[in-house]
C-alpha cells in the first residue's frame, strides 16, 4: 500500500512537471523584474476606482440588470424544470421518463457560459441572451432536483384522492404538490443565489449585466471603471451571501 | 350531504402569485425580455444555418489533432494551475490557522506579530477567492497576453484562495489537541503541523485538492472563452466562424473530459480514503 502511495505521488509530480513543460510555461520569466514591473503598473492603473456619480449610476443599473437576469432566469428555469420534472419522475411512463432525463442531462451538462455564447448568437447581445442561457442551464439542474423530490414525495395523499374519484391533474395539485412545494421553492431560491453570481460574470461573452460592463471597460483600457465594476460584483455577492445566511436562519430554524 | 367544491386557499395563493409577478415585472423590462427576438427572420436564419451544421461532427484528422492538442493544453492548464494554487494556498493556510499559533498557548511576545500577519493573510485569501476565476482570467489575459499562462495564473490565484481557506478550516475542525500538545512541549509551528495535524488531516486535504482539480478542468475550458488557451479558446474560435460541426465535436470532447476528470478524481479520492 505504501508503495502505491509513493507511486501515485511520483506520477502526480511527473504530471505536474509535464504540464508546465507542455505549456512551455516559464514561471521564472513571468516573475522577472521587468514582467513584474509591467504587471505592477497594470495593477496600479486600476486605482483609484472611478467613483464619479455618473458612472456609479451606470454601475447601479448594471447591478440591477444582473439581479433581474438572475431572478427572471430562475423563474423561467423553475417553470421549465417543473415541466420536465413531471415526465422525468416517471409520471407519464418509461419512454417520456428517459426522454425527459436525457433533455435534463443535456441542458445541465453544457456550462452556462457556453449557453450564453450560443444565446448571444440566437438573441443578440444583451441581457436577454444571458437570461435565456442561465434559464436553460438552471432548468437542467433544477429539473433533476424537482424530479427527485417528486419521486420521493409520499404517494398516499394523491392515491387517496384518485381513489375518491379525482382527476389525476387535481390529485397532483392537491395531493402531491402541497407536500413538495416548500422543497421546490427552497431549491429555486438556492439556485437563484448561485445564479446571481453567474449573472454577474456571464456578461464577458456579451450577455448583459455587470460582466458586460467589465468586459467593455477592460477592452477600452478604462481600468478605473473596471475596478468599480469589480467592487460592485464583490459587494453584490457579499450582500447576497449575507441576506441568504440571514434568511436561512430565520426561515429554516 | 351538502358541500361545495371550493378551495379555501385559492384566493391567498392567487394574490401571492400576482404579487410575485408584479415584483418581477420590472425584471422583465430590465432583461429586455423579448422572445420574439429569437424568432425574427434574420436571427432564425443565421441560427438555423448554424444549428444545421452541428451534424455531422467535424472529424477530419487535422481538426481532431488540433482538438487533441487543446484538450491536453486544458488538462495541463488545470494541473499547472492547481500546482500554483497549492503553492499559494499552503503557506497562507498555515499562516491563518489559529491552532498553530505559538502565542495562543500562553502570553508571549509574538501575539501582536501573529495578529499582524494573520489579518492580511486572511484578507489576501478572501480577495483571491472572491473575484471569480473568469474575471481573473480577463485581467491576466491583459497583463500577460493571450494564452495558457493567463489561465494558469487565474486558476492559481482563485483556487489558491479557496484552498488556503478550506485547508485551514480542515485543520481547525480536526482534533487540534496533538498540535497544541506539541506546541506546549516547545515544538515549532511546522513541527506541530507535520506531526500533530498532517497525519490526521491528510486524506481530507488530498481529497479536497483532487476535487478542486476536477473543478479546475471545467474552469479552464470556460476561461478559454476570454482567451486563456485550451479547449475553450478553440470553441470560441469555432463559434465565431459559425462552424457548428466543430462546435459539436468540441462539446462532445468537453463532456468526455469532464467524465474522465470525474473518474480520475473518484479513483484518487478512493486511494487516499
Q: Assign residue B234 the CATH number of its domain.
A: 1.10.3720.10
SS3 A107: helix
Q: Distance (Å) from the C-alpha of residue B43 to the closest C-alpha of chain A?
A: 6
Chain B interface test: which of A201, A208, A213, A236 (most B C-beta within 10 Å): A201
Residue B49 falls within a domain, yes or no? no
Query: Which of A111, A130, A233 is opposite residue B218, by nearest beta carbon?
Result: A111
ipTM above 0.85, yes or no: no
Residues of B in contact with A114 (CB under 8 A): 222, 225, 235, 251
- Per-residue confidence in pLDDT tens, chain B, 273 aa: 566 777 777 888 889 888 888 888 888 888 888 787 777 777 777 777 777 777 787 778 888 888 999 999 999 999 999 999 999 999 999 988 888 877 777 666 777 777 888 889 999 998 898 888 889 998 888 888 888 888 999 999 999 999 999 999 999 888 888 888 888 888 888 888 999 888 888 888 888 898 899 899 989 988 888 888 888 888 888 888 888 888 888 888 988 988 888 888 888 888 776
Cell of B62: 487535422
Residues of A in contact with B43 (CB under 8 A): 121-124
Chain B interface test: which of A107, A121, A225 (most B C-beta within 10 Å): A121
3-class secondary structure per residue, B130-196: HCCHHHHHHHHHHHHCCCHHHHHHHHHHHHHHHHHHHHHHHHHHCCCHHHHHHHHCCCCHHHHHHHH
Q: List the domain boundaries for chain A.
A: 53-252
C-alpha–C-alpha distance, residues A99 and A143, integer Å: 13
Residues of B in contact with A218 (CB under 8 A): 138-139, 142
pLDDT digits (tens, 9 = 90+) for A60-78: 999 999 999 999 999 999 9
Residues of A in contact with B144 (CB under 8 A): 30, 35, 39
Give the number of other CB atoms < 10 A from CB of residue B225.
24
Q: In this structure, are residues A134 and A195 in contact, taking their beta carbons and an 8 Å threshold?
A: yes
Using only C-alpha atoms, chain A has a radius of gyration, in whole angstroms, of 24
Which residue does chain A place closest to B77, by CA atoms? A19
Q: Any residues with CB less than 8 A from the CB of B87 and at least 6 apart, and which?
A: B156, B160
Helices (H), chain A: 2-22, 27-30, 33-44, 53-88, 94-109, 112-123, 127-152, 156-163, 168-171, 177-202, 209-219, 223-252
Question: What pTM was computed for the model?
Answer: 0.84
Contact A123 B38 (CB under 8 A): yes
What is the architecture of the domain spanning A53-252? Orthogonal Bundle (1.10)
Residues of A in contact with B34 (CB under 8 A): 128
Residue B140 falls within a domain, yes or no? yes
SS3 A32: coil
Query: Which of B31, B80, B255 is opposite residue A69, by nearest beta carbon?
Result: B31
Quote the pLDDT of residue A251: 67
Residues of A in contact with B73 (CB under 8 A): 22-23
Residue B18 falls within a domain, yes or no? no
Q: How many CB pairs under 8 A join A and B?
A: 137
Give the number of other CB atoms < 10 A from CB of residue A208.
28
**DSSP calls for A17-29:** HHHHHHTT--HHH
Number of domains in chain B: 1
Buried b (16+ CB within 10 A) or exposed e, A19-44: bbebbebeeeebeeeeeeeebeeeee
Mean pLDDT in residue range A168-178: 89
Residue B66 falls within a domain, yes or no? yes
SS3 A240: helix
Query: Which of B130, B132, B148 is opposite residue A25, by nearest beta carbon?
Result: B148
* Backbone angle region of A124, left / alpha / beta, with phi > 0 → left and psi within -120 to 50 → alpha: left
C-alpha–C-alpha distance, residues B83 and A169, integer Å: 55
Amino acid at each position: 500500500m505504501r508503495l502505491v502511495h509513493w507511486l501515485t505521488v511520483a506520477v502526480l509530480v511527473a504530471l505536474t512537471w509535464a504540464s508546465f513543460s507542455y505549456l512551455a510555461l516559464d514561471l521564472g520569466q513571468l516573475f522577472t523584474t521587468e514582467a513584474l514591473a509591467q504587471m505592477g503598473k497594470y495593477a496600479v492603473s486600476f486605482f483609484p476606482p472611478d467613483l464619479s456619480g455618473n458612472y456609479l449610476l451606470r454601475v447601479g443599473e448594471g447591478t440591477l440588470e444582473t439581479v433581474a437576469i438572475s431572478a427572471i432566469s430562475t423563474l423561467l428555469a423553475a417553470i421549465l424544470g417543473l415541466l420536465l420534472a413531471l415526465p422525468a419522475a416517471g409520471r407519464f411512463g418509461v419512454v417520456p421518463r428517459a426522454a425527459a432525463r436525457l433533455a435534463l442531462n443535456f441542458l445541465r451538462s453544457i456550462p452556462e457560459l457556453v449557453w450564453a455564447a450560443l444565446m448571444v448568437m440566437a438573441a443578440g447581445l444583451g441581457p436577454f441572451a444571458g437570461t435565456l442561457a442561465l434559464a436553460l442551464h438552471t432548468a437542467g439542474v433544477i429539473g433533476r432536483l424537482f424530479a427527485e423530490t417528486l419521486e420521493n414525495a409520499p404517494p398516499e395523499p394523491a392515491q387517496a384522492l384518485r381513489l375518491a374519484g379525482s382527476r389525476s391533474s387535481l390529485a397532483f395539485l392537491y395531493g402531491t404538490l402541497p407536500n413538495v412545494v416548500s422543497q421546490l421553492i427552497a431549491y429555486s431560491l438556492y439556485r437563484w443565489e448561485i445564479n446571481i453570481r453567474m449573472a454577474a460574470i456571464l456578461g464577458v461573452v456579451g450577455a448583459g449585466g455587470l460582466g458586460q460592463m467589465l468586459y467593455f471597460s477592460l477592452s477600452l483600457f478604462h481600468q478605473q471603471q473596471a475596478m468599480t465594476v469589480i467592487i460592485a460584483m464583490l459587494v453584490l455577492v457579499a450582500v447576497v451571501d449575507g441576506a441568504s445566511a440571514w434568511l436561512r436562519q430565520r426561515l429554516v430554524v | 350531504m351538502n358541500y361545495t367544491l371550493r378551495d379555501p386557499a385559492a384566493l391567498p395563493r392567487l394574490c401571492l402569485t400576482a404579487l410575485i409577478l408584479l415584483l418581477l415585472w420590472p425584471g422583465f423590462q430590465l432583461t429586455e425580455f423579448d422572445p420574439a427576438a429569437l424568432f425574427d427572420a434574420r436571427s432564425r436564419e443565421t441560427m438555423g444555418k448554424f444549428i444545421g451544421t452541428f451534424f455531422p461532427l467535424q472529424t477530419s484528422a487535422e481538426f481532431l489533432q488540433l482538438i487533441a492538442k487543446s484538450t491536453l493544453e486544458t488538462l495541463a492548464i488545470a494541473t499547472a494551475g492547481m500546482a500554483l494554487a497549492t503553492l499559494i494556498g499552503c503557506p497562507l493556510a498555515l499562516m491563518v490557522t489559529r491552532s498553530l499559533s505559538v502565542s495562543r498557548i500562553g502570553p508571549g511576545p509574538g501575539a501582536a506579530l501573529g495578529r499582524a500577519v494573520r489579518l492580511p493573510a486572511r484578507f489576501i485569501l478572501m480577495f483571491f477567492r472572491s473575484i471569480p476565476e473568469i474575471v481573473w482570467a480577463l485581467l491576466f489575459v491583459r497583463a500577460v497576453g493571450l494564452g495558457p499562462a493567463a489561465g494558469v495564473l487565474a486558476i492559481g490565484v482563485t483556487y489558491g484562495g479557496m484552498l488556503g481557506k478550506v485547508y485551514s478550516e480542515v485543520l481547525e475542525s480536526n482534533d487540534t489537541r496533538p498540535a497544541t500538545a506539541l506546541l506546549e512541549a516547545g515544538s515549532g509551528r511546522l513541527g506541530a503541523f507535520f506531526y500533530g495535524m498532517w497525519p490526521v488531516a491528510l486524506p481530507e486535504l488530498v481529497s479536497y485538492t483532487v476535487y478542486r482539480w476536477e473543478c479546475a478542468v471545467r474552469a479552464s475550458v470556460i476561461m478559454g472563452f476570454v482567451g486563456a488557451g485550451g479547449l475553450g479558446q478553440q470553441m470560441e474560435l469555432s463559434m465565431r466562424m459559425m462552424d457548428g460541426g466543430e462546435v459539436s465535436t468540441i462539446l462532445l470532447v468537453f463532456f468526455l473530459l469532464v467524465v474522465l476528470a470525474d473518474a480520475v478524481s473518484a479513483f484518487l479520492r478512493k486511494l487516499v480514503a
